[in-house]
């Protein structure tokens, strides 16, 4: 369904046409029939909250996943990619946030990797390779030294190398996934010039971002996904930030104002006088944080809102000991935090539910029981042997309290649904109750029912006196759960406000956008 403000499909054969594409992962419908058209020479922004389906579509177009239904055409011809190689052969190039460069090689070597100029005998023409790379970088006005070793470059320049590498191929469709997350304003301008130059050659560009002010500077049209479906396609010059925010968060996400009426969502009551601070950060700094000041009180759910790359996750990692505190200090219940590693944090009552549960939160090949007791093996061991009776009792209790749906605690975690996997991650920290519970995107990739159950777990932790620090890109989630919300920009907390200050997710989204250090913001 196309919402008000969208435009009718343009005439002629599009470069890329996606029609009714569906994709399901177990019990999760990641895509519910999305459609998208990209014209030659068009920069088309793709927006949506985490879990909206953007990444799934990108992986289908790049050959990582195969779609379950619908159709994909390139230049009017149907395609279905069974591998990334097939996608590349069709002229699709994708630049992910996670780079795929060979750091031990030079910029030039990376740009021409696999298509190096060689002699008839197969020897590398090094001078020609460097000359080709330098000519291309100059033509795109990309300030990279072709001879520099990629491993010696700052991250922003490694990211620009990745983008330049994609642009050098025989590209028909270029997909950029959050390309400016680590770039300065000057580097961002250079990137935009390169994108415009490649679009001028007739290449279609899909530009995925959470930074709405970028959309108005670089795109011709915008498509918004919400909950795996289309929420509208807009001509950029004919829309504004509030319209896009409304499409992203949806009409059903309005919440209570301080004196307003409800719109269907449960809203936390005003916390009133909160308990004493359980966690305090004072001018905390490191390689990603810049003088962070934060006060988390017992029984409070405190949200961290900001764009991808703003430093939200790094604040949690620093508190949990995954990143060192290089300046400033942190205290728990008024006592300076001891140690600078996760083991010390756990001993002092700090727990982390990470964003990537598969890599950082679970051992997928192990059972529910083993995962639940893993952080506290000493408590369930005697003379180096696991006390199976105590371990099984602990697992059964946690599964019952969290309503984990599985045949038994012996079930392998990889066989659980996303929501039940996430409950297991929470269960690791459920007893004893942590003083501070750090949550990084706790409901990403779980269905609506499991999400509500996880909300109950979070509220329960706060009701029992834990301080909860919540990072979420789902702004309606922050408004539904949090007592206070802090805005994070470039590694700093620039503002902390009461939940009652916002009437809707759109208001919070707008505050995040106007807080960005940019010279121009769309009205």
**pLDDT score, position 514:** 86
H helix count then E strand count, the chain: 16, 22
Kind and range of the H or E run holding 470 = strand 467-471
**pLDDT score, position 510:** 87
The pTM (predicted TM-score) of the whole model is 0.62
**pLDDT score, position 518:** 58
Whether 173 contacts 203, CB under 8 Å = yes
How many CB atoms sit inside 10 A of residue 293's CB?
14
Quote the CA–CA distance of 242 and 115 in Å, as a whole number: 46
Q: CATH number of the domain at 16-91+170-249, please?
A: 3.40.50.300
Domain boundaries defined on the chain: 16-91+170-249, 277-514
Nearest residue to 355 via CA among 323, 317, 325:
317
**pLDDT score, position 149:** 94
Give CA torsion, residues 12, 15, 17, 22, to 10 deg: 180
- Look up residue 149 and give its DSSP letter: B
Q: What angle do CA 400, 401, 405 make, to 5 degrees?
A: 45
Q: What angle do CA 237, 238, 243 make, to 5 degrees?
A: 110
Q: How far is CA 515 from CA 256, 310, 489, in A?
A: 23, 11, 7
Beta partners for residue 254, in sequence order: 504
Quote the CA–CA distance of 231 and 243 in Å, as a whole number: 11
Same topology for domains 16-91+170-249 and 277-514, yes or no?
Answer: yes
Q: What is the CA radius of gyration of the chain?
A: 24
Beta partners for residue 32, in sequence order: 22
Q: Average pLDDT per run of 10 along the chain, which is 523 residues long?
A: 38 84 84 95 89 88 94 94 92 82 92 88 91 90 88 79 82 87 70 84 90 89 93 94 85 42 39 72 94 95 90 94 93 90 91 85 88 77 72 84 85 84 86 90 72 87 94 89 95 93 86 75 41
- pLDDT digits 0-9 by tens, 379-413: 777 766 767 777 888 888 888 888 888 888 889 98
**pLDDT score, position 274:** 59
The DSSP-derived string for 227-283 is TTEEEEEEEGGG--HHHHHHHHH-GGGB---TT----SS--PPP--S---EEEEEEE
Quote the CA–CA distance of 280 and 412 in Å, as a whole number: 38
Pairing of strands 28-38, 381-382: unpaired
- Look up residue 49 and give its DSSP letter: -
**CATH class given for the domain over 277-514:** alpha beta
The DSSP-derived string for 303-367 is EEE--TTSSHHHHHHHHTTSS---EEEEEETTEE---SSHHHHHHTTEEEE-S-IIIII--TTSB
Cβ contacts of residue 100 below 8 Å, gap of 6+?
162
**pLDDT score, position 98:** 65
3-state secondary structure of 437: strand
- pLDDT digits 0-9 by tens, 251-260: 655 443 333 3
Nearest residue to 174 via CA among 279, 61, 32, 76:
61
Quote the CA–CA distance of 423 and 450 in Å, as a whole number: 9
Q: Is the dihedral of CA 367, 358, 465, 505 positive or negative?
A: negative
Helical H runs in 96-154? 107-111, 126-139
**pLDDT score, position 106:** 95
Q: How far is CA 222 from CA 47, 70, 251, 310, in A?
A: 7, 21, 18, 23
């Amino acid at each position: 369904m196309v919402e008000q403000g969208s435009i009718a499909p343009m005439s002629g054969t599009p470069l890329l046409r996606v029609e009714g594409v569906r994709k399901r992962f177990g019990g999760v419908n990641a895509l519910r029939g999305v459609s998208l058209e990209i014209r030659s020479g068009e920069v088309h922004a793709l927006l949506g909250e985490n879990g909206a389906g953007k990444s799934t579509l990108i992986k289908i177009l790049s050959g990582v996943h195969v779609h379950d239904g619908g159709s994909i055409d390139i230049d009017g011809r149907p395609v279905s990619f069974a591998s990334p190689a097939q996608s590349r052969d069709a002229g699709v190039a994708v630049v992910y946030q996670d780079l795929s460069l060979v750091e031990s090689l030079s910029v030039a070597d990376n740009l021409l990797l696999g298509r190096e100029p060689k002699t008839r005998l197969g020897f590398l023409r090094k001078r020609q390779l460097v000359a080709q790379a330098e000519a291309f970088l100059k033509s795109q006005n990309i300030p990279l030294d072709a001879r520099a070793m990629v491993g010696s470059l700052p991250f922003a320049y490694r990211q620009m190398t990745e983008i330049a590498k994609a642009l050098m191929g025989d590209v028909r469709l270029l997909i950029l996934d959050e390309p400016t997350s680590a770039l300065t304003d000057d580097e961002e301008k250079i990137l935009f010039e390169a994108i415009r130059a490649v679009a001028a050659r007739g290449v279609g560009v899909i530009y995925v971002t959470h930074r709405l002010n970028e959309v108005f500077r670089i795109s011709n049209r915008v498509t918004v996904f919400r909950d795996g479906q289309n929420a509208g396609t807009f001509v950029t010059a004919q829309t504004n930030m509030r319209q896009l925010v409304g499409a992203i968060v949806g009409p059903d996400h309005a919440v209570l104002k301080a004196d307003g009426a409800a719109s269907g969502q449960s809203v936390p009551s005003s916390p009133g006088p909160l308990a004493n601070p359980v966690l305090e950060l004072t001018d905390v700094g490191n390689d990603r944080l810049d003088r962070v000041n934060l006060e988390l009180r017992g029984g409070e759910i405190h949200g961290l809102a900001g764009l991808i790359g703003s430093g939200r996750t790094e604040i949690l990692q620093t508190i949990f000991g995954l990143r060192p505190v290089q300046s400033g200090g942190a205290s728990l219940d008024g006592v300076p935090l001891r140690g600078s590693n996760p083991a010390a944090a756990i001993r002092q009552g700090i727990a982390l539910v990470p964003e990537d549960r598969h890599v950082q939160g679970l051992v997928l090949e192990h059972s529910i029981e083993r995962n639940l007791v893993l952080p506290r093996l000493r408590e369930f061991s005697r003379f180096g042997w696991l006390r199976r009776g105590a371990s099984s009792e602990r697992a059964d209790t946690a599964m019952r309290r969290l309503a984990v749906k599985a045949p038994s605690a012996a079930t392998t975690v990889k066989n659980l649904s996303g929501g039940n996997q996430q409950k297991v991650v929470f269960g690791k920290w459920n007893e004893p109750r942590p003083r501070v519970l750090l949550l990084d995107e706790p409901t990403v990739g779980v269905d609506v029912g499991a999400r509500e159950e996880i909300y109950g777990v979070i509220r329960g932790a706060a009701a029992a006196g834990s301080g909860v620090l919540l990072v979420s890109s789902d702004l309606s989630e922050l408004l539904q759960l949090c007592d206070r919300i802090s805005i994070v920009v470039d590694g700093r907390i620039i503002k902390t406000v009461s939940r009652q200050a916002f009437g809707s997710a759109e208001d919070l989204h707008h505050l995040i956008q106007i807080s960005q250090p940019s010279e121009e913001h769309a009205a």
